[in-house]
Structure 1
Amino acid sequence: MTPRGAQMLKDELQRLKEERPKISREIEVAREHGDLKENAEYHAAKERQGMVEAQIKDIEAKLALAEVIDPSKLSGDKVRFGATVTLLNTESEEEVTYRIVGADEANIDEGTISISAPLARALIGKEPGDEVRAQMPAGVRLFEVVSVEYE
């Protein structure tokens, strides 16, 4: 994961931890309404509490196991994790640029793709000038690697 991805997870973890006391207060207020068997507010708050706790555990586990790699400290012409790759779609002659990141920070709208995505897997080890054949959801696409940068 990149430093940006790690920071995004830390920010989300902090937000969830700040939500804990609010949920506890909601549970207490709902308890005061009486019979818990038919208390929708109580059950909704308990369910939300369970979901938040599960998310906290999930993020803490990811952060504990994460290897943070700073792409700006990498160099070379071969595509690997953290690379910003400019590709030429050989069919449409359109250039696209993607940065290869961890699964938790991938967002195609921001130009980031997961290291486990079919296109990223097809790009690993390639250099400028190499042709890449990638199985995409819309079918097989052919690209040429234009440039590889580490920012």
Structure 2
Amino acid sequence: MASTISLHLSPASGSFPFQPKQLKLGDKRVVLGIEIPNDPAHTSSSSNGWFAVVRTGISPLPVSTSHAEVWLSGSKVYIRDTDSPFGTFVNGVKITTDTLLRQGDVLSLGSPVQRNSQTPAYITDDHLKPIIAKIALVIGLSGW
């Protein structure tokens, strides 16, 4: 029997709203980013790394369409930023290299954008929030 590892992402306080995700990690890297409307290959689901644009086209400004990637190496889960403009953070620390994810870590795709006098009125508070997720690593068994 082989073991599998799933990465569970649940919204944490201060996050752009998103539905929890369960990403099964295998031999391919999983891209984390904002879905691309009208592109079936980049449409959000609970089992992929694309985060949905909500309501009337609101997406989080600090998150890129291809923001970061996660992968399994042996029995460890790693993440790296893909040169996103607003960065990727693990437990509040900006990552600049491949970084090990652990049970209970807090992942942030982007950092909050501050409203100022130049911010257009149509930009809501949700637009300005990053994706902030609590990490759970779940080990399962597959095959015989």
* TM norm. shorter chain > 0.5: no
The structure with higher relative contact order (CA 8 Å, sep 6+) is 2
| Higher helix residue share | 1
TM-score w.r.t. structure 1 length?
Answer: 0.30
